[in-house]
Each structure stands twice: as structure tokens, then as C-alpha cells.
Amino acid sequence: MDVGMKPEQPAGVADLVAKLVDGLGQLIAQHVALARIELGEEARSVSRSLSTLAIFTPLLVVGYAMVCFGVAFALSPLLSMPGAVLLVGAVNLVVGGIGLFRVIQVLKRPHLEDSTAAARESTHLLATEARVEVGGVH
């Protein structure tokens, strides 16, 4: 053993805190990068969906209006024209309300699921490692 060499001492609290802060900084940077990737993918997906919706919605609306008028005219001998239009309108309101409720439920789903799961896992691992390292310091 060299006289000039000092024996290795266990890491102090300051070293452990510095190591923890460095690791935390890297972890946060990785989570931000993952969130950016997920947001970019989701934005592209939403953009495609909205453009498709914008193209086909006018055709759908015109066709649907024609079908509703046809059904109302077909029912007019049985219910009179105002009664037939009222019945077709009521059915449309009920079905539209159910569809809107389902869409709202889909939109309430959590976003950035991968980032959230990764952040939770990292937090758990970081807390476990911090307990182990702090437990080793006297």
C-alpha cells in the first residue's frame, strides 16, 4: 500500500445527494423526451383523423338529412307530416345523445400513458434506491 494513497472511504451524504440529483436530472430529461415523442405521435394521429372527418362530414350530413326526410315522408300517412317529422327528430336526438355520451367517455381516457407509467416506475425505483443508499450512511 502506498503511503500517499488514502484508503477508500464510504461515500458521504453530499456525494450521495449529488449522485441523486444527477440521476434525477437525467431521469427528468428522459421523461420529457418520451412525452415529446408521444405528443408528436398523438398530434399526427389527431391531425389525420380531423382531416378525414372534414372531408366526409358534409357528405354524411347531406345523405343523413335526405334519409330523415324520406322516413318522415314515408310515415306521414300514418302520423301526419308534423308527427312524422317530430318522431324522426326525437329518434335522432336520442341516438345522437347516446353517441355524444360515448365520445365524451372516450375523450376522458388518460393521455401519455407510457410517460405516466414510466414516471411512476422511475419514482418507485428512485425511492427504493434512495432508501438503500441513505440506510448505508451512518
The CA distance from 20 to 25, in Å, is 9
Give me the pLDDT at residue 98, please. Answer: 92
CB count, 10 Å around CB of 119?
17
pLDDT for residue 9 is more than 70: no
* Arithmetic mean of pLDDT, 27-45: 84
Give me the pLDDT at residue 137, please. Answer: 53
pLDDT for residue 6 is more than 80: no
Per residue in 46-69, pLDDT (tens digit) is 888 888 888 888 888 888 889 888
Domain boundaries, the chain: 13-136
pTM for the full predicted model: 0.42
Let me know: does 85 contact 74? Beta carbons within 8 Å: no
Give me the pLDDT at residue 112, please. Answer: 65
Assigned C-alpha cell, 79: 302520423
The CA distance from 79 to 4, in Å, is 106
Distances (CA, A) of 75 to 32, 85, 86, 92: 59, 8, 11, 15
